[in-house]
Amino acid sequence: MGPVTAADIALDIRDLRKAFGGVRAVDGCTLAFPRGKISGLIGPNGSGKTTTFNLLTGVAMPDSGQIFYKGEDLAGMKPYQVFRRGITRTFQVTRVFREMTVLENMLCVTALNVSERVARARAYELIDFVSLTRLRGEYAGRLSYGQQKLLEFARALMTDPEVILLDEPAAGVNRTLLQDLLAHIHGLQERGKTIVIVEHDMNVIMNHCARIFVMDYGVKIAEGPPAEIQKDERVIEAYFGRRRG
Amino acid sequence: MEKSDVRSLYLLAAFLVCAYSLPFLIGIQFGTVRADEQWFAYLATVVFAGILQGGVYAMFAVGLTLIFGVMRIINAAHGEMVMMGAYLTWVAFFYLGVDPLLALVFTLPIAFLLGVALQKVLLNAVVGQPELTALLVTFGLGLTMIYVAELIFTTDFRTIPYAPQTVQVTRTIAVGQNKLISFVMAVSISAAVYLFLKFSRLGKAIRATALNAEVAMVCGINVQRIYLVTTGIAVALAVAGGALVSIQFGFNPETGVVYTLQAFAIVILGGRGHYVGALIGGLMLAVLENLVSLMIPNGTAAVELAAYGLMIFVLLIRPGGLMGVKEA
Amino acid sequence: MATHEHVRNVLLLAALAVVLAVLPPALSVYLKSFVMFTMMYVVLALSWNIISGFTGYTSFGHVAFYGIGAYTCAVLVADHGWHWISTLVVAAALAVVVAVAIGYPVLRLKGPYFAIAMLGTAEGTRVVVTVWDSLTHGGLGISFPSVENSLETYYAMLVVMLMTILVAYIVGHSRFGIRLNAIREDEGAAEVLGINATAYKLAAFALSAMFPAVAGGIQAYKVLYIDPPSVFFVQITIAMALMSMLGGKGTVIGPVVGAVLLYSAQELTWVNFPTAHLIAYGLFIIVIARFMPRGLIGFAIDRGWVRKGMVH
C-alpha cells in the first residue's frame, strides 16, 4: 500500500490534545484514517485510544487541535452534531438502552427526515442482519453480552453512516459471534464505509485491518500496514519494553 | 486543577458576592439600610447571630454529608430527623421536665439506635442502587415521619422557652443566651465527631469506606457495620441539631422540609461528602439568611429563598461546590 | 404497533369520553366532584409521567406548574374580570414559558440533583407568590365570585383529560417518545446516536408543565378560593409521582390506572382517617420504590399480559 493522499482521507486529525487534570491523555496526536478502509487503532492501556474516540465523537471537548471531516472541523461539536454528519460509534462496554426493546433501541436512532415506515423497514432489516429477529420485542437489558454488542453494532448502522468507530468490538464476544461480526464489518467496508477499530485482540487487528495506527502516551508512534507494524521497534518497545498497567 | 475548574470557582465566588450584596441592595430600595450607628450595631448583631446559627446548621448538615460520603445515599428525610429531635426534646422538657441539653444524654443514644435500625430495615437495601431509588425511599420516609408527627403532635407550632436572657457580647452586640449555648454545644459535638473520624480506629474505617468501599472491604473492614455506625451517627447529629434548634425557634412537623433544604444547600455549597465544606457552608447560609431577614421587609418568607437560591445556583455553576467534588 | 391497535385504543378512548360526558345527570353533587378530581389526578399523573417516566427526570416540584395555573386563573378572573375559560389558555402558555426558563438550566442536572432542584423550585415559587402580594394578595389568598360551576368544571376537566391522554398516547408511541426513553436509559449514548438531548428534554418538560397548569386553573375555579399553601402543596407533587409509580411510570395506561386507584382509595379512607392516608402515602412510596419500581404494569409485563415496550 502506497502513501495516503489527501483525497483518500476520511478523518484528518491534527495535533489533538486533551488533558484530564494533570494527565495528558491525548498529547498532540495527528492521525489520518483512510477512506473506505478498515483501520486499527492500537496501543498499550492508557495510551489515549478511547479518549481519541471520545474527542472524535464530541463526547469530550478537545483542549486544542482539529478534526477535519469533509472539509469541516468537528472539534468542539456536540455529539449529536457529529452523528448527524455521518460518524457513529460503539462503546467499549456496551451501552444499549436496557429497558427498551431491541426494536425501540433501533428506532430511536433514525434521522429526523425519515418516515416511520422507512425507519421500521430499516430496523427490521438490520435486526435480521445481526440475527436478533426472534428477540425484537425483548428488553435489550435481557440480552446476552454478545447479543448486546451485536445490537449496539446494528444500532450504529441505522442511519447508514459514512464512518464507523468500533471500540473493542471483540471484547467479551465468543468466537462464533466474533466471526459473524467481522464478516459484517468487511461487508460494510466493501460498501465503501470507513471503519476504525480500537482492539486489544491482535489477531483481529493484524488479520482484518488495512492500516494500523499505534498510540502511546497520547501520541501516534507508528503507522503502516500490519506486516510493517509487527516488525516496528517502537511498537514492540511500547508493548513489551516498558509495559505498564 | 483544570482550567474549567478554576473558572467555575471564580464564577461561584462572583455569584456569592452577588448573593450577599443582594439583601443590601433590596434593603436600600426599601429604606431598611440606614448607615447610622444603630443600624451598624444591628448589622453586627445579625452577622454574629448568623455565625452562631451557622454552627448548628453545619452540625446537622454534617450528618447528611456523612451518609452521602459513605453510602452515596441522599437522605431526603434528614430534615424530618431534625424535626424528630426537636420533638424528642420538647417531650422530655414538657412531660418529663428534663433540661433540653441534659435530654441529649438519652436522646442521642436513642437516635443512634434508630439510625442503626433504619439502616438495617431500609437503607441497606438501597446502597449501591441508583441514587434516585434511595432518594425516593428516604423521601417517602420523610413524609411518613411528617404525618406521624402530625398525628401525635398536631400541626401547632411548639416552642421551648429556654435561657431567653440576652447576653451583651461586646458593647454593640447582644444575643440570646440560648443561641450562645446552642453554638457552643454544636461546636463541641462537631469537634467530637471530627476527632472521632480523624483519630479513632472506627472513624478511620468510616473514612476509608467513604473513599472506596471495595478497597475497604478487601482491607478487612466490615463495611456493613460501618454503614450501621454511619447512619447511627448521622441520625444522632440530626437529632442533636433538632434539640439545639428547638430551644431557639418554633417548629411544627412541616418545618422538617425547610431543614432538609437547608442541609442540602449547605452540603452542595460546601461540596458533597466534604466535612470542612459543610462547616463553611453552614456558616455562609446562616449569615445570608440573617442578612435577608434584616434587610427585606416581610423577610420571614424570603429567608427560605436564600437556601433554595444558593442550592440551585451552586448546583448549576459548580455542582461540586466550594471544595470541588468531581462529579457531573 | 399495528394500525388496528391504534384504532382500537382511540375507539376505547372515545367510548370513555362518551360515558363520562353523559354521566353527570346521574351523579350526585359529591360524585360529580369525585369524578372531576379523579380526572384531574389523571391529568397530573400523566403529565408528570412525560418528564419523569418517559424521560427519567424525576420532578419533585411539579406542583409549581399547577400552582402557577391556579394563580393565573384566579388573578385574571377575580381581579381583571376575564372569563375563566380564556384564562386557561394563558395558564398553559405561562406554564410553558416558565418551564422553558427553569428547565434550560435545571435540566442540566442529573438524577437526584434535578429532583432536589425541582423541590426547591416549587418551594421558591410558593415563596415568590406569597411575597408578591401586589399581584397575588400574598398569604390572604384569592376568592372568586361565587357561582354554581360544578358542571362547567366537570366538562372542562373532561376535555383536558382527554387531551392529556391523547398527547401522552401520541408521545408514548412515537419516535419522539422513544428518544425520550433513550435519554432516560443513557443520555450520553443517546447524544452519540444523534439525539439532541437538551432540546428533547425541554420539549418534554414544557409538555409536562402545560396540562397541570390548566388543571390547576380549573380546580381553582371549582373550589372558588385559593391561597399559596393550598395550591403549592407538596403533597400534590407526591400524588403525581406516586400515582405514576404505582401504575407504572413510562407507560400511558400506568399513570391513569394509578391515579384512579389511588385517588379512590384516598377518598375512601380520608373521611375516617384524615392523617392516616398521608402516612400511607409515605409508606407507599418506600414500598413501590423499593420493591416494584416498574409498578403494576411491570407486574403485568412480567406475566406476559402486556407486551414489552411502547412500539411493536
List of domains in chain A: 6-241 (3.40.50.300)
DSSP letter string, C11-77: HHHHHHHHHHHH-GGGS-HHHHHHHHHHHHHHHHHHHHHIIIIIS----S-THHHHHHHHHHHHIII
- Residues contacting residue B149 through CB under 8 Å, at least 6 positions apart: B80, B83, B84, B87, B253
The pLDDT value recorded for residue A243 is 47
| Cα B182 to Cα B160: distance, rounded to the nearest angstrom | 13
Residue C159 has pLDDT above 90, yes or no: yes
The tens digit of pLDDT for each residue in C254-278 reads 999 999 998 988 888 776 677 777 7
User: What confidence tens digit (pLDDT) does each residue in A1-10 have?
Assistant: 445 556 688 9
Question: How many contacts, defined by CB atoms under 8 Å, are there between A and B?
Answer: 4
Q: Is B2 on the interface with A (CB under 8 A)?
A: yes
Among A84, A100, A119, select the one facing C309 at the smallest CB separation. Answer: A100
* Burial class (CB within 10 angstroms; exposed 0-12, middle 13-18, buried 19+) of C128: middle
Strands (E), chain B: 166-168, 174-176
Cα gap B258→C305, rounded to integer Å: 44
Contact B133 C290 (CB under 8 A): yes
Please name the residues in contact with C191: beta carbons below 8 A apart, sequence gap of 6 or more: A58, A59, A78, A79, A80, A83, C197
Q: How far is C256 from chain B (nearest CA, A)?
A: 21
Task: Look at residue A23 and give its three-state secondary structure.
Answer: strand
pLDDT given for residue C271 in this prediction: 67
C-alpha cell belonging to residue B309: 437560591
Q: Given this model, what pLDDT does residue B2 score?
A: 62
Q: Residue B231: which H helix or E strand, with range? A: helix B223-246
Contact criterion met (CB < 8 Å) for B1 and A21 = yes
Q: Please give the Cα distance from B49 to B176 (Å, whole number).
A: 9
Q: Which residues of B183-206 are buried (b: 16+ CB within 10 A; e: fewer)?
A: bebbbebbeebeeebeeeeebebb
- Model pLDDT for residues A170-217, shown as the tens digit of each residue: 888 888 888 888 998 999 999 999 999 999 888 899 999 999 999 998
Model confidence over C93-128: pLDDT tens digits?
Answer: 999 999 999 999 899 888 888 988 898 899 889 988
| Res A245 pLDDT > 50 | no
Note whether B304 contacts C: Cβ–Cβ < 8 A: yes
**Can you give the pLDDT at residue A7?**
66
Q: Burial letters for B47-67: b for 16+ Cβ neighbours within 10 Å, e otherwise?
A: bbbbbbbbbbbbbbbbbbbbb
pLDDT digits (tens, 9 = 90+) for A128-142: 988 899 999 999 999
> A113 vs chain B: nearest CA distance in angstroms?
33
Q: Is A141 on the interface with B (CB under 8 A)?
A: no
On chain B, the residues whose CB falls within 8 A of the CB of A20 are: 2
Q: How many CA atoms lie within 13 A of C118 on its CB side?
A: 30
What CA–CA distance (Å, rounded) separates C207 from C202? 9
Question: How much is the pLDDT for B318?
Answer: 81
| B125–C121 CB contact, under 8 Å | no
Could you tell me what percentage of chain C is helix, strand and coil, using 3-state DSSP and rounding each to the nearest 5?
80, 0, 20
**pLDDT averaged per 10 residues, chain B (length 328):** 74 87 84 82 89 92 90 91 95 91 92 95 86 85 91 90 82 86 93 92 91 86 92 95 92 88 89 83 92 78 82 82 61
End-to-end CA distance of chain B: 16
- Chain A residues with CB-CB distance to B2 below 8 A: 19-21
| Whole-Å CA distances, B17 to B12, B48, C143 | 9, 19, 41
Pairing relation of β-strands B174-176 and B166-168? Answer: antiparallel
Q: Is the pLDDT of residue A54 over 70?
A: yes
Does some domain include residue C310? no
C147 min Cα distance to partner chain B (Å): 32
Check CB contact under 8 Å for C282 and B133: no
Residue B225, CA distances (Å) to A135, A160, A178, B66 in order = 44, 54, 45, 15
Is B85's Cβ below 8 Å from some Cβ in C?
no
What does the DSSP 8-state code read for residue C226? E
Residues 6+ apart with CB under 8 A from B126: B73, B133, B134, B137, C290
- Which residues of chain A lie closer than 8 angstroms to B6, CB-CB? none
Q: What pLDDT, on a 0 to 100 scale, did the predictor assign at position A214?
A: 93
Q: Which of C120, C275, C290 sits opposite B312 (nearest CB)?
A: C120
Chain C positions touching B142 (Cβ under 8 A) are 282
The CA radius of gyration of chain A, in Å to the nearest whole number, is 18
Q: Which three cell numbers stand for residue C167?
A: 398527547
Angle between helices C175-185 and C197-223 (to 10 degrees): 100
C interface with A, Cβ–Cβ < 8 A, is 175, 178-179, 181-182, 185-186, 188-197, 250, 307-312
For residue B327, give how far its alpha carbon lies from the nearest alpha carbon of chain C (Å). 10
Does C115 touch chain B if contact means CB atoms closer than 8 Å? Answer: yes
Instruction: Name the nearest CA neighbour of C64 among C51, C77, C54.
Output: C51
> Of A106-120, A223-237, C43-57, C261-275, which has the strongest mean pLDDT?
C43-57
Tell me the three state secondary structure of residue A89: strand
- Do residue A83 and residue C193 have CB atoms under 8 angstroms apart? yes
- Chain A positions with Cβ closer than 8 Å to C: 57-59, 78-80, 83-84, 88-89, 91, 95, 97-101, 103-105, 107-111, 116, 119, 137-139, 155-156, 159
- Cβ contact, residue pair C179, A108, below 8 Å: yes
Determine, yes or no, domain membership for C123. yes
Query: Collapsing DSSP states into helix, strand and coil, what is residue B111?
Result: helix
Pick from A180, A190, A7, B146: which is nearest to C279 by CA? B146
Contact assignment for B305 to C128 by CB distance below 8 Å: yes
Residues A64, A57: Cα–Cα separation, whole Å: 15
Nearest CA in chain C to A94: C189
Residues 283-312 of C with CB under 8 A from B: 283-286, 289-290, 293
Instruction: Indicate whether C308 belongs to any domain.
Output: no
Task: Tell me: ipTM over 0.85.
Answer: yes
- Could you tell me if A166 and A197 are in contact, meaning their C-beta atoms sit under 8 angstroms apart? yes
Residue C234 resides in a domain = yes
- The answer as to whether C107 is a domain residue is yes
Q: Which of C58, C106, C283 sits opposite B140 (nearest CB)?
A: C283
Q: Which residues of C touch B311 (CB under 8 A)?
A: 116-117, 120
A-contacting chains (≥3 CB pairs under 8 Å): B, C
Whether pLDDT at C1 is above 70: no
Q: Which of B315, B318, B327 has the highest number of chain C CBs within 10 A, making it the mutation to test binding with C? A: B315
- Across A8-22, b (16+ Cβ under 10 Å) vs e yields ebbbbbbebbbeeee
- d(Cα C136, Cα A11) in Å, to the nearest integer? 60
Mutant choice from C57, C59, C62, C116 vs B, greatest count of B C-beta within 10 A: C116
Chain A, nearest residue to B5 by Cα: A21
Cα B272 to chain center, whole Å?
A: 13
| Mean pLDDT confidence for C132-142 | 88
Buried (b) or exposed (e) across A61-89, using 16+ Cβ within 10 A? ebbebbbbbeeeebbebbbbebbbebbbb
Q: How far is CA B60 from CA B51, B83, C44, in A?
A: 15, 11, 35
| Number of domains observed in the structure of chain C | 1
Contact B312 C110 (CB under 8 A): no
The pLDDT of residue A4 is 52
Contact at 8 Å (CB) between C265 and C305? Answer: no
Position B328 scores a pLDDT of: 34
Chain B's closest residue to C52, CA to CA, is B132
Residue B328 touches chain A, beta carbons under 8 Å: no
> Across chain A, which distance is largest between two alpha carbons, in Å?
56
**Interchain contact B71–C (C-beta under 8 A):** no
What CATH number is associated with residue C245? 1.10.3470
Separation CA B137–CA C283 (nearest Å): 9
Q: Which residue's C-alpha cell is 496526536?
A: A29
Name, in order, each residue with C-beta under 8 angstroms of B270's C-beta and a sequence gap of 6 or more.
B61, B65, B276, B277, B278, B279, B280, B281, B282, B321, B322, B323
Q: What does the block give as the cell for C110?
A: 442529573
- What is chain C's mean pLDDT, rounded? 91
Asked if residue C224 belongs to a domain, the reply is yes
C-beta atoms of B147 and C275 within 8 A: yes
Q: What is the mean pLDDT of residues C39-57?
A: 96
Domain housing C244: 3-302
User: CA of C139: how far to CAs of B302, C142, C194, C226, in Å?
Assistant: 13, 9, 48, 10
C64-76 average pLDDT score:
96
- Residue among C178, C186, C195 whose CB faces A104 most closely: C178
With CA atoms as reference, the chain B residue closest to A63 would be: B3
Q: How are beta strands A72-73 and A64-69 bridged, if at all?
A: antiparallel
Contact B301/C at CB under 8 A: yes
Distance between CA atoms of residues B307 and B286, nearest Å: 9
